[in-house]
Amino acid sequence: MKLSSRSRYGFRAILELAIDYGKGPLQIKTIAEREDISNKYLEQLISLLKSSGLVRSVRGPHGGYELTRPPAEVKLDDIFMTLEGPPISVECLEHPEHCPRCMDCVTRQVWAKMQSAMMGVLESLTLQDLVDKAKQGDSSDHYQI
């Protein structure tokens, strides 16, 4: 159950968009530099976010990407589902009719519990929460000598 770098990079990228929300579009190469991600690869990841409607693009000079909604209205589960799909994806969770013993399958209940535990975390957080935490971390740096 390794987390893909698609998710890791994707989250960091959209967090940059959240931090700069309201300041106009942010370009791929800017994000790529800040987060030290390959330009071309990041392009694909952001296009995922775009096709799911979380992000909007502006083409041409001074173009780039920006969030379609304010960070406070973007829950992390939307992002995760876009980049990674359902956490703990199992055939019998998504298509119960597929497995004949599904109804009384005990292990299935375990997967379901794990899945809802993860979703609980993701649903309880918004991009704004992350932005706040990030800024909080920044300001603590100012106290350094």
Q: HEC string of 96-124?
A: HHHCCCCCCCHHHHHHHHHHHHHHHHHHC
**Beta carbon nearer to a copy of itself, 63 or 109:** 109
Least distance to DNA, CB of residue 132, Å: 26
Q: Which stretch binds DNA (CB under 7 A): 15-23, 54-62, 102-110, 131-139?
A: 54-62
Residue 69 burial class via C-beta count within 10 angstroms: exposed 0-12, middle 13-18, buried 19 and up: middle
Contact of 78 with 72, CB cutoff 8 Å: no
Q: Which of 23, 62, 137, 142 binds a copy of itself (CB under 8 A)?
A: 137
How many residues of this chain interact with a copy of itself, rule: CB under 8 A? Answer: 35
Residue 107 engages a copy of itself in binding (rule: CB under 8 A): yes
Other CB atoms within 10 Å distance of the CB of residue 72: 14
- Cα separation of 49 and 82, whole Å? 7
Residue 14 engages DNA in binding (rule: CB under 7 A): no
List interacting residues with a copy of itself (CB under 8 A): 1-3, 8, 11-12, 15, 76, 84-90, 104, 106-107, 109-111, 113-114, 117-118, 120-122, 125, 130, 133-134, 137-138, 141
